Amino acid sequence: MMPIALTLAGSDPSGGAGLQADLKTFHQHGVYGTSVVTLLTVQNTRGVRRLEVVPPSVVEAQLTCLLEDLVPTAAKTGALGTAPVVEVVARAAVRFAFPLVVDPVMISKHGHPLLDRAAQEVMRYALFPRAFLVTPNVPEAEAMSGRPVKTLSEARDAAKAIAQLGPKNVLVKGGHLDGAPVDVLFHAGELIEFKGSRVDTPHTHGTGCTLSAAITAWLAQGLELPEAVARAKAWLTAALRTAPGLGQGAGPVNHFAKV
């Protein structure tokens, strides 16, 4: 049977981020993708113009319907928007028999807020304890850990601090730090670092969504977490290097990059 991966995320009509990026990534990794729409955005590569959150009851109905028929072998979340939507996902996650990757999307690439303050608190205390993996970038790690993250050493400390909130594993992505990007994974009580090379490109729209989706796809195929992270990071680097240059702003990465 083909592995199934589920994304619970917002819609990006420009296709570079959100559930569209997740589904492209799943497909490229040989995994069948399903989706629950949590919010609708009006955006392109130049910015977000409008956002509408899907009613929590509709989010819950989508998820219930899918789980009755197409049970995933791994799932991930993206932008969830509001506390009631986060609560829906957290309640359902109690019953998940598959790993859940939580990408705590708070702000769009263009600076538009995608998770309100109340939702951040519910995510910390209700959803994180249900997560197999949490994948914050540096600003998200600062918000979730309540401490500055300006150096690699502080990223290590933030990963440990976020793990105290309950997720089994934490990956603090280092793209916002100076120098070559180093991602820090807190796994099985140990820190593992994934070094990378910085790609000089303005086309970075959806990198967080794409990375977490690639990790989810590998988990759906049965890989252990450190190997899933390593492969996903290598693929994202290739996708950044071969970005197609679409749009007039921060364009998408190349979701057709060879796996």
Q: Pick from 60, 172, 59, 78: which is nearest to 123 by CA?
A: 78
Q: Find the catalytic residue in 82, 135, 204, 216.
A: 204
Give CA–CA dist 171/212, Å, rounded. Answer: 10
Residue the block writes with tokens 């399903």: 34
Spatial neighbors of 44 by CB under 8 A, at least 6 apart, are 13, 14, 247, 249
For 195-210, letters b (16+ CB in 10 Å) and e give ebeebeeebbbbbbbb
Return the closest-CA partner of residue 121 out of 87, 148, 170: 87
Nearest CA to 9 out of 95, 94, 90, 105 is that of 105
Q: Can 204 be counted among the known catalytic residues?
A: yes
Q: Please pick, among 82, 207, 210, 237, the residue that the annotation labels catalytic.
A: 207
Task: Please indicate whether residue 208 is annotated as part of the active site.
Answer: yes
Active-site residue identified among 15, 34, 174, 209: 209
Identified catalytic residue from 206, 210, 216, 251: 206
| CB 239, CB 254: distance < 8 Å | yes
Please tell me the distance from the alpha carbon of residue 1 to that of residue 154, in angstroms, as a whole number.
43
Catalytic residue among 7, 208, 210, 216: 208
Catalytic residue among 25, 173, 216, 233: 173
Residue 65 is among the residues annotated as catalytic for this protein: no
Report the distance separating Cα 56 and Cα 39, nearest Å.
10
β-pairing, 32-44 with 190-195? unpaired
Active site residue 209: yes
Q: Report d(CA 152, CA 138) in Å as an integer.
A: 10
d(CA 71, CA 49): 34
Catalytic residues: 173, 204, 206-209
